């Protein structure tokens, strides 16, 4: 993609943990939906940072550290824009690195097929309706029971850290790190998530595509993105995409405030 001109804006968002103010550079031309994925992840991370500071001020400590990868055995949901972004990331990898990643993903798929979960995950990725948390709970538990590491995990460290999905950035805990070895049995205390960016991007894609606000299981995200490549090739005005996504952030935050 040719270099895009950008508009520099300052965004202010009121979150439960305080006011988030951050500068952003929004592309002014026509861009694919993947162009705003880094911008939205950044907003999500900064909102999460406010929650971290609030927890620390209350005397709590964040247990998550580099190399602590128990949560990398959970089923991670990604939005369609993030799936397309992962596909683009893979295409830009050096050949050797790309081949190793493809092999890791294939090995994960083989294990899931052997466990009888691959077809269920693919069905979730392609469903024509938005699934509730209650509907997702059985597959989440069955996947977690495998204790299978994420296909992008290498030596207990994320190999795509800068490009990791929003859901991976949002899971932080204040309970002892060893509790995360069994999140079903132990009283794990996750940090509140002010706004789930994968949900924001999923809602945005639903509006753009006319389909459901789907969330795609990470192990099948690359395959999904390949199947839906023509849809991901569309372009929209960058400013409109960003404003639309930011509007969904505000709406979700307002919903959280009303529920309290």
| Of residues 254, 186, 192, 200, the one with CA closest to residue 37 | 200
pLDDT at 250 over 90: yes
**pLDDT of 259:** 59
pLDDT, tens digit (0-9, with 9 covering 90-100), for 159-200 = 999 999 999 999 999 998 888 888 888 899 999 999 999 999
Select the more confidently predicted residue: 101 or 1: 101
Instruction: Kindly report whether the global pTM for this prediction surpasses the value 0.85.
Output: yes
- What's the pLDDT score for residue 186? 86
pLDDT tens digits along 89-108:
999 999 999 999 999 999 99
Q: Does 13 score more than 80 pLDDT? A: yes
pLDDT category, 137, cuts 50, 70, 90? Answer: very high
For 51, half-sphere exposure in the C-beta direction (CA atoms, 13 angstrom radius) is 21
For the residues 57-80, what does the mean pLDDT come to? 90
Burial 68-106 (b: 16+ CB within 10 A, else e): bbbbbbbbbbbbbbbbbbbbbbbeeeeeeeeeebeebbe
**Rounded distance, CA 156 to CA 70, Å?**
9
Q: Residue 202: is its pLDDT beyond 90?
A: yes
Classify each residue of 151-175 as buried b or exposed e, where b means 16 or more C-beta atoms within 10 Å of its C-beta.
bbbeeeebbbeebbbbbbbbbbbbe
pLDDT value at 86 more than 50? yes
- Residues 142 and 65: their CA atoms lie apart, in Å, by 26
Mean pLDDT of the chain: 92
pLDDT of the residue at 162: 93
């Amino acid at each position: 993609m040719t270099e895009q001109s950008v508009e520099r804006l300052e965004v202010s968002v009121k979150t439960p943990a305080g006011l988030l103010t951050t500068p952003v550079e929004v592309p002014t031309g026509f861009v694919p939906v993947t162009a705003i994925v880094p911008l939205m992840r950044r907003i999500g991370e900064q909102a999460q940072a406010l929650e971290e500071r609030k927890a620390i001020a209350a005397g709590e400590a964040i247990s998550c550290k580099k190399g602590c990868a128990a949560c990398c055995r959970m089923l991670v949901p990604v939005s369609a824009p993030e799936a397309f972004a992962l596909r683009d990331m893979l295409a830009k990898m050096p050949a050797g690195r790309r081949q190793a990643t493809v092999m890791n993903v294939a090995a994960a798929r083989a294990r899931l097929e052997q466990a009888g979960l691959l077809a269920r995950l693919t069905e979730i990725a392609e469903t024509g309706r938005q699934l509730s948390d209650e509907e997702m709970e059985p597959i989440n538990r069955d996947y977690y029971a495998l204790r299978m590491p994420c296909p992008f995990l290498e030596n207990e460290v994320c190999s795509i850290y800068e490009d990791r999905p929003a859901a991976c950035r949002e899971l932080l805990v204040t309970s002892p790190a060893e509790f995360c070895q069994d999140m079903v049995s132990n009283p794990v205390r996750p940090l509140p998530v002010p706004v789930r960016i994968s949900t924001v991007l999923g809602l945005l894609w639903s509006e753009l595509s006319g389909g459901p606000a789907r969330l795609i299981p990470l192990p099948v995200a690359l395959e999904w993105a390949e199947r839906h490549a023509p849809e991901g090739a569309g372009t929209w005005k960058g400013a409109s995409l960003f404003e639309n996504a930011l509007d969904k952030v505000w709406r979700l935050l307002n919903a959280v405030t009303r529920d309290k």
